[in-house]
Chains A and B, each alone.
Chain A
Amino acid sequence: MADIREEVVITFFSHYEAVKAKRIIGSGSLIPVPRALSSSCGTALRTELSVFMAHHEFDYDKAYLKEGDSWSVLQV
C-alpha cells in the first residue's frame, strides 16, 4: 500500500488521453476527476508519485499531489 502522501491524481483534456497514460505507466486506476480539483467531470488517473515521475512523458493537463486532505499542483 502506497504512502498516502505519495498519491498523485492526473487530469487530462480527454478520456482517451487518460486511457493512453494508464497504458504507458502500466499501473494506477482511472477515476472521475475529484470534485475538489475541478468542476469538470472527466476522467483522471490516480497513481503513485514515484510511478508518475518515472513515466510522465505523456499528454496531460495537471498533476496533483495529495497532501493530507488538500491537493497541490505538481510542478514537473
Chain B
Amino acid sequence: MISSFKEKRNLAITGALIGVVAIVLMVLGNPGNMGFCIACFIRDIAGSLSLHNTAIVQYMRPEIIGIVLGAFIISVIKGEFKPRAGSAPIMRFVLGFFMMVGALVFLGCPLRMVLRLAAGDMNAFIGLLGFITGIAIGSFFLNNGFSLGRAHDVDRIEGAVFPFINIVLLFILLFFPSLLKFSESGPGSMHAPIVISLLVALIVGMAAQRTRLCMAGGIRDIFLIKDFTLITGFVFIFIAALISNIAIGNFHLGFADQPVAHDKHLWNFLSMALVGLSAAMLGGCPLRQLILAGEGNSDSAVTVLGMLIGAAFSHNAGAASSAGTGPAMIGKVSVVVGLVFCLALAAVITRKRSRQ
C-alpha cells in the first residue's frame, strides 16, 4: 500500500499527542473537557474583539493563533505554503457561519465532541451520531457531483495575510491587552498560561499540517472510498484523552451534569448533523480550516471568518446553547435554517455539476 502504514502511524502519534495535551491544557486552566475546542475558542476571540457582548465567553485564545501559525511555519519550511483562492468564497463564508451555529448549539466543535466523549459525556455520543449522519449526507452529494469548484494559485502575499493577522492578534494580546475584552467569570475566564497554550498549539498546528488530521475527513473517507487512514487520528485522540481522563479522575459516564454541555438529545443530534454536513461540503472540520488557512488557503481563511461572524451572531441573537438548559427557540430555528440551507445548496450544485 502507498505509505498507508506510515500515514496511519503519524496520524496515531498526532492524535495521541492532541488527546494528551488537551487534557493537560484543561488541568492547567482551560474549561472542562475544553482543552481544545476550535469553535468555542473562535467564539471567545469574537467576544474578545467585542463582536459579541456575552461577558462569560471573551478571551483571545492563543490556541487558535498557535494552530494557524504552526501550520504556517511548517508549511513554509516544507515548501507546502501554496496560496490558493477562488473556490466559492462567499458560499464558504456562509457554510462556515452555519458550521459555527451548529457547533455552538451543541457546545463544541468535532474535536471537543471527541474530548467530551472521552470524559464520559454521553451527550457527545448523540452529537457523534448526528455528526456521522451529516457527513454521510454530505458524502452522498460529493459522490453525485457536489463540489465548491477549484481554487487557483494566488500571490504569496495573499496567502500570508491570514497568518499575519494572527501575529497581530498575538502582539495585541501580549502587549496591548487593554484593546481586548476578557471574561472575569465563566468559561472565558478559564485558561491555561498563555505561553504554554501558544507553544502547545504551535506543535499541534505543525503536526496537524503534516498529517492532514481532520475530524470530518476520516469519516468522509470511510463513506466515500472505504478508507480508514484519516480516521486513525480521530480514534487516537479519543483513546489518549480517555486514558488521560481516567488517570486524573475526570471520567464521569452519563448524560447529566456534564461540564459546558446539555442533554437535549434532538438538538445535540441535529446541531452536529449541521456541523458534519457543512464540514463535508467545505472539505474539512473547523480544525482543518485553520490548518488550511495557515497553509495560505484564502478560501479556508474566509471560512474561518464566517465562523467568527457565526459565533458573534450566535451570542448576539441568543442562538448559542446555555450549559445545562440547551438551546433557546432561536438556536433551534437557526439549526433548522442551517440544515435547510446546506441541503438546498448541496442539491442545487450537485444537480448542476452532474449535468456537466
Contact = CB atoms under 8 A, between A and B. Distances in A.
Q: Do A and B bind each other?
A: yes
A32 B217 CA distance: 10
A76 B94 CA distance: 39
A68 to B, nearest CB: 13
Interface string A25-53: 00000111011100111110010000000
A52 to B, nearest CB: 16
A9 B143 CA distance: 19
A9 B10 CA distance: 21
A43 B224 contact: yes
A71 to B, nearest CB: 9
Given A41-B284, A46-B2, A32 B225 contact: yes
Interface residues of A, number: 20
Nearest to A30: B225
Interface string B124-161: 00000000000000000011111101100000000000
Contact of B353 (A16, A41, A66): A16
A35 B142 contact: no
Interface in A56-70: 66
Nearest to B81: A39
Nearest to A29: B225
Contacts of B142: 14-16
Given A32-B221, A32-B225, A39 B209 contact: yes
Interface string B48-69: 0000000000000000000000
Interface residues of B, number: 31
A35 B221 CA distance: 15
A36 B146 CA distance: 26
A36 B3 contact: yes
Interface string B290-329: 0000010000000000000000000000000000000000
B189 interface: no
A35 B143 contact: no
B163 to A, nearest CB: 15
Contacts of B146: 16
Given A13-B150, A15-B143, A16-B145, A31 B2 contact: yes
Given A16-B353, A41-B284, A32 B227 contact: yes
Q: List the 10 shortest-distance A-B pairs measured between CB atoms, nearest first.
A: A14-B147, A13-B150, A30-B225, A41-B212, A39-B80, A34-B2, A15-B142, A16-B145, A41-B217, A35-B7
27 contacts: A9-B2, A14-B149, A14-B150, A15-B142, A15-B143, A16-B146, A17-B147, A31-B225, A32-B221, A32-B230, A34-B2, A34-B7, A35-B10, A35-B212, A36-B2, A39-B80, A39-B212, A40-B212, A41-B212, A41-B217, A41-B230, A41-B283, A41-B284, A42-B283, A43-B225, A46-B2, A66-B2
Interface of A: 9, 13-17, 19, 30-32, 34-36, 39-43, 46, 66
Given A19-B143, A32-B225, A34-B3, 14 more contacts: A9-B2, A13-B150, A15-B143, A16-B145, A34-B7, A35-B3, A35-B10, A35-B211, A35-B212, A39-B75, A40-B212, A41-B217, A41-B284, A66-B2
